Chains A and B, each alone.
Chain A
Amino acid sequence: MVTATALEAELLALAGSVPDPELPVLTLSELGVVRGVRVQDAGAVEVELTPTYTGCPAIETMAADIRQALRERGVQDVTVRTVLAPAWSTDDITDEGRRKLREFGIAPPRTTRETGPVALALGPTRTLDEDPVRCPHCGCADTELLSRFSSTACKALRRCLACREPFDHFKEL
């Protein structure tokens, strides 16, 4: 583990403060996708970014936004490198990020704290279990799955059975 310099810490905070292009209520650090910043000998800066999903189309916009933010701080030579390992998980979304998602009307992912594949049972579409997906609007725990895939790959479409509002759920990965 290389100790980060004060400059690296500052640039990391700056890169992390860039808003997510698809969920602008979240910053990239709240989403947990900025892995590190290294200042190289000649002053060149390398930022490590990890995709949420392998095919996430937002990654290129994220990289461009990070380069822009660092240039505005006076860093001209910025390379954003995509890293796959260790794989991003929804557990990497910070507590503040989860709070903002809920406020934005998206049910945050439940904690998985697991490694390896997500085991999915062939079960009913309602989740009245010990850790239900709650409606972000009214907080009701009785919600049903409408579609496993929603407006983006990372979300599922659900409906609240109390207030009847449909909502996006940031599904566990």
Chain B
Amino acid sequence: MSSNTAPVTAGRRSYRKARLALAATATAAGLLLSGCTTVNAPAGGTNAGSSGGGTDYLPDEAVRKIVNGREVKVGFAPPILSEFYTQVEKAAHNRMKEYEDRFGVKWTWERQGALNDAHSGTETLGIVQGYIARQFDAVFVCSAANASTMQTLYKQGSDQGIDFYQFNSTEELANPSQAEDPTGGLATVSNIGYDDRWQSGYLAGKYIAEQLKGQGSIIQIMGPSGSDWTKLRQQGFKKAIAEYPGMTIVGEADGGYVRDKGLTAAQDLLTKFPDVKAIYGENEDMALGASQAIDARGLKHWDGQSGIITIGADGLVSGMDSIKAGKLTATVDVNSAEMGTEMIDALFAHEFLNQEVNQFIRIPTGVVDKSNVDWHQGVLQNVLNGPGKY
């Protein structure tokens, strides 16, 4: 690990440690969970027992005994097939491989992604019903369907002993509270994700404002209106911009979360507002479309001093490449790697160790630009080259 990335890495790891400590899971298993992170090389070979306390106490063996070679059937239902969900799945697979090697967990993994209704979610309903009928042990769901509809389905499945975990979802929209109810009124074991408002939209707005020192106009390319993800990211982004009186959002257009529509929308808006300082693309594909529009108009990309800032959100390999090439200024990495890992950690803790996991597991997210792209890209590449395959 090169010296300049080490502090950042450490920061990321210490966050995890702090969070785990807060969650009071400093049991034997908790120790070994915190011992390996996605950021470091997989801890496959290290023995958490010996590094943990210097005693001859061997939690690995104890966990192995608990697991006892049991098999779990896991369903994975993403709302669409894409680079992002592939990264999440691969990270999960790598973690599963670790658990298999160390504790003898036997996994059956089945992915059924919706193809045609990323935004309405009714296809996901059918998929989840199928998992319930086939008595899977645990199901990971990310769906665009309304939260209340999904909760009814989860309740129905939970009554039959199936555990539901949501990931990358928009449960913050329903604003459930754990103040009096440990489940927050949700029928899931846990929700693994990030807050779209403050961990994605807000970050992007803040980054633009800070780079531009609070002065300038912005255009934004949004996802399809009607999508919950769009709604939330908008909320965060607009809040961040509102904190800077010198900044204004002059134009916005629908880019449908796809690149060629993003390109067209950015071209149109750049014609009308030729002297904008920044373009916010709500996902990376649209931001890359906007970047092409800048090239096509012969405008200058942001170089740290002048030019147009383009920022997206996702944290995909293709986005990282573009940041390195100077075509994309920045992106919000919503941390697919950590998401996949945390999903399996939560499942393992609940399913095998019988621990209580928090209803809301929030993974760290952050802005990637030229200064830290090597680290983020390295993490991603490690994930994609990882050994997990189910």
- Chains A and B are bound partners: no
